[in-house]
Amino acid sequence: MSSLVCSLIERRRIKTTLAKAKGARRVAERMVTLGKKGTLAARRRALSVLRRKEHVHILFDDIASQCKDRNSGYTRIIKLGKRQSDSSEMVFLEWVSVPSIERAKKKPKRAESKEAVAS
């Protein structure tokens, strides 16, 4: 589960099966709670679970600071449907308060793109 949570911290959104997402959600929510405490002991506990220093740094500095107003429910599961090969329920696991990297990228506005084509 720690590798799934590290992937969630790094990518902000992961696609996985429902069973794995429910397990990873439990670990991720505990890690955010530790991140909100911000103490050295909490950082060491998170490092003992995640085992990657750079991901613990991102968790404590970015994700926990954006979730400081929430008491719980830091992640959401969005169901996608069944996988064709084995009919496993596929889902997106993502942070609620943290904007995903795909959403953070700016897309050109339609008016601007039409003007660029016209010139």
Domain ranges for the chain: 2-118
Helix (H, G, I), strand (E, B) or coil at 54: helix
> What's the pLDDT score for residue 110?
61
Q: Edge-to-edge strands of the sheet including 89-95? A: 13-17, 89-95, 75-82
pLDDT in tens, 52-63: 999 999 999 999
Q: What class, spelled out in words, does domain 2-118 have in CATH?
A: alpha beta
5 Cβ neighbours under 8 A, 6+ residues apart: 24, 27, 28, 31, 49, 50
**Which two tokens mark 65?**
């600071």
- Which is higher by pLDDT, 117 or 87? 87
> Comparing 45-49, 56-60, 84-88, 97-101, which segment has the lowest mean pLDDT?
97-101
pLDDT of 101 reads: 59
